[in-house]
């Protein structure tokens, strides 16, 4: 997914259009063996959480949209860079690459600076306390 501007981001979150753009983790990733390095497993889980929040509908419900935004701010920032790092680190390990390769390399909905500004205003919902 390409980086988008502030106003476009708000419209995208509220429109439900993200559901059409977000791919679920591949069967290979979801069936990851326990022998994978912990950092790989952690990224797969975080990437999955990011795609989950990006696909959540929030139109017409301001409270739900705030929950979604908070979830995205907890899981999405840094996933693209971390995926690239792990692909480079484990490029010679076929088992790890079979899990990492299917992941979307551009899942973050905005650039680093924009995400920092946006997430600075996200509040922790009651259910997450």
| Residue 33, SS3 per DSSP | coil
Cα(69)–Cα(57) distance, integer angstroms = 11
Inter-CA distances, 21 with 72, 76, 111, 124, Å: 15, 15, 17, 26
Reported pTM: 0.67
Assess whether pLDDT exceeds 60 at residue 62. yes
| 23 vs 79: CA distance, rounded Å | 15
Residue 129 banded pLDDT, cuts 50, 70, 90: low
Q: Is 103 helix (H, G, I), strand (E, B) or coil?
A: coil
For the cut 70, the answer to whether the pLDDT of residue 107 exceeds it is: yes
With left for phi above 0 and alpha for psi between -120 and 50, is residue 60 left, alpha or beta? left
pLDDT tens digits along 22-42: 333 344 444 444 589 999 999
């Amino acid at each position: 997914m390409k980086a988008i501007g502030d106003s476009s981001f708000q419209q995208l979150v509220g429109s439900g259009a993200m559901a059409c753009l977000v791919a679920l983790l591949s069967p290979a990733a979801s069936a990851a063996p326990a022998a994978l390095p912990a950092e790989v497993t952690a990224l797969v889980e975080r990437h999955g959480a990011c795609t989950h929040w990006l696909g959540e509908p929030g139109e017409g419900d301001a409270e739900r949209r705030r929950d979604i935004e908070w979830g995205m701010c907890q899981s999405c920032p840094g996933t693209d860079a971390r995926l690239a790092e792990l692909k480079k680190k484990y490029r010679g390990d076929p088992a790890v690459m079979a899990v990492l390769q299917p992941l979307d390399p551009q899942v973050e909905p905005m650039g680093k600076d924009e995400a920092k500004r946006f997430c600075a205003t996200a509040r922790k919902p009651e259910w997450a306390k």
